[in-house]
Amino acid sequence: ANTPQGSSTLEERRKLRKRARELAARKKDRPITVSLRAEEEEEDEEEVMRDAVYVSARKTVFALCGICPSHFDSFIHRILHKYKRSHVEPGEAIGALGAQSISEPGTQMTLKTFHFAGVASMNVTLGVPRLTEIINAAKLISTPIITAKLVQNDNEFTARLVKGQIEKTTLGQVSVITEVYAADSCHILIDLDMDLIDNLQLGVDNTSVRQRIVNGIPGQARAPVLRALMDKHVQLSQSRSTQIRVVPPEMKPTSKGDVMTTYFVMQALKGALPGVIIQGIKSVARAVINSEEKKDGKTEYNLLVEGYGLSDVMGSPGIDGLDTESNHIIEVKEVLGIEAARKKIAAEITYIMGAYGIHIDSRHLMLLSDVMTFKGEILGITRFGVSKMRESVLMLASFEKTTDHLFDAALHSRRDNIVGVSECIIMGVPIPLGTGLFKLLRDVEHDHCRTLNNGRSVKDQLANQDPVFTL
């Protein structure tokens, strides 16, 4: 601050603060008036803002970027222009404006399913079907995908290990199941393909497979014939380490006319054993390793998991849970909370529109997210979601099933305060938007009784001045 340049900058800051205080004091004198000379005040305010940015950033920008003052001034003008355009007038119908801004670009989208970027074997639903899933808050979506970042994302072998721990693998995919009948006994022989198991990096052997056959995995629905299996019924082969023998259990008849013979038990076992999950998450259909080439030439790997189970994937070893996300809004809400779901709604719509080169202002998307989540749960823009958002009978009747809503309201003696847009339009009263958002009150009796010293009324005095409207 002792240098001439520092003293000049300090003096400019002092003058700027003085001008800002004068402008604030001038606006404070008329807190509830709207003058036709407001444009002059806006110009003064814009000039103060422009000078504030110019004084505070000029020294740093000139030193680092090396741009000339004219270019910097043009850049500041553009910032202020965008800032003024982002203002919303009081009483603006932001709901209708946001709905139009989101739905109108939707007419340019298609009804197709596109390949996932960088992975030819992975499809993802885009366009109108995906937008419908988000807005309607669908519980079951067509292509649920979890994007999981790896802790060691630069090693393909590590990615295969994590993939084998997450992807659901059944017994029928890695073994050959054969029925063996003898004169005095019968059993089912399971021959594991250890070469395939090693290539898939599953990390299982005959002992772990036997344990899964007997106990299953927590939460998995098991067939009755599998629930009847005990340790004595599942035996490891003494001659070959890859073989497992399953002896049919003795099952009691379920009814008088339904006697479970040994043959039927064998058939039930042969049908149920291929579906036993020996590794992975039961709700995951498959996992694909996705590789991305970075600017520095290094390859980064991550997993694209097709299916549900966000919490299970986040807790899997080798997965960075802080950088794992799902495109299923309902699952995000159940695992991470309503705030994460609110942000995910806007992010998913932005991703869908970006695939078609369409840009939507984030304010419209955040407004939609707020409307869908402000109750603490995700409410779709359907008659079920709207019924939970508002208690207005007329608004529900104007949406869907008019006669049903009116009949139920009359049956239960419900009341409607007529405060929403739909209700006001139906009843023929001004809607609470724009100039209908507030009411003007004028004390007529006070105007007639009050006179000036020269005998003129307030009405005559206002007629000779600039138009001023008092709220």
Domain assignments of the chain as residue spans, ordered by start: 92-110+120-139+331-387, 169-279, 390-456
Average pLDDT over residues 12-30: 60
Residue 46 identity (one-letter amino acid)? E
So what's the pLDDT on residue 5?
Answer: 46
Q: Is residue 118 over pLDDT 60?
A: no
pLDDT 10s digits, 425-445? 888 988 888 888 887 777 766
Average pLDDT over residues 399-427: 86
Q: How confident is the model at residue 341 (pLDDT cuts 50, 70, 90)?
A: very high
The percent of residues in the chain predicted with pLDDT above 90, rounded, is 7
Contacts of 41 (CB under 8 A, 6+ apart): 23, 26, 27, 35
Tokens at residue 438, please?
Answer: 């507030």
Nearest residue to 302 (alpha-carbon basis) of 440, 446, 116, 469: 116
Query: What residues are paired with 177 via a beta bridge?
Result: 190
Q: How far apart are CA 48 and CA 22, in angstroms?
A: 11
Which range has the top average pLDDT, 45-59, 79-93, 184-198, 361-375?
Answer: 361-375
So what's the pLDDT on residue 4?
Answer: 44
- Burial bucket for residue 94 (CB in 10 Å: 0-12, 13-18, 19+): middle
Contact yes or no for 269/248 (Cβ under 8 A): yes
β-bridge pairing 169-170 and 319-326: unpaired
Tokens at residue 5, please?
Answer: 């340049």
So what's the pLDDT on residue 48?
Answer: 60
φ/ψ of 362, rounded to 5, equals: -65, -25
Q: How confident is the model at residue 31 (pLDDT cuts 50, 70, 90)?
A: very low
Pick the CATH number of 92-110+120-139+331-387 from 1.10.1420, 1.10.1790, 1.20.58, 1.10.10: 1.10.1790
Q: How many CB atoms lie within 10 A of CB 246?
A: 22
Q: How far apart are CA 423 and CA 393, in angstroms?
A: 8
So what's the pLDDT on residue 18?
Answer: 67
Q: How far apart are CA 371 and CA 137, in angstroms?
A: 12
Q: Is residue 262 over pLDDT 80?
A: no
Average pLDDT over residues 329-348: 93
Q: Residues 379-385: contacts with CB within 8 Å, 24+ apart?
A: 379/137, 380/135, 380/136, 380/137, 380/138, 381/135, 381/136, 382/136, 382/137, 385/137
Average pLDDT over residues 92-97: 87
pLDDT 10s digits, 120-153? 556 777 888 888 889 888 888 888 999 989 988 8
Q: What is the DSSP string of 187-240?
A: EEEEEE-HHHHHHTT----HHHHHHHHHH--TT----HHHHT--GGGEEE-SS-
* More confident of the two residues 108 and 336: 336
Average pLDDT over residues 373-388: 81
Contact yes or no for 144/286 (Cβ under 8 A): no
Q: How far apart are CA 273 and CA 441, in angstroms?
A: 81
Q: What DSSP element (H or E) covers 170?
A: strand 169-170
Contacts of 416 (CB under 8 A, 6+ apart): 392, 393, 394, 409, 423
Residue 134 identity (one-letter amino acid)? I
Q: Is residue 338 over pLDDT 90?
A: yes
- Domain spanning 390-456: which CATH class is it, in words? mainly alpha
User: Poorest-confidence range of 120-129, 167-176, 364-373, 432-441?
Assistant: 120-129
Q: Is residue 6 over pLDDT 60?
A: no
Q: Is residue 348 over pLDDT 50?
A: yes
Tokens at residue 217, please?
Answer: 């995995």
Nearest residue to 147 (alpha-carbon basis) of 166, 170, 120, 126: 166
Supply the DSSP symbol for 291.
E
Query: What residues are paired with 236 via a beta bridge?
Result: 244
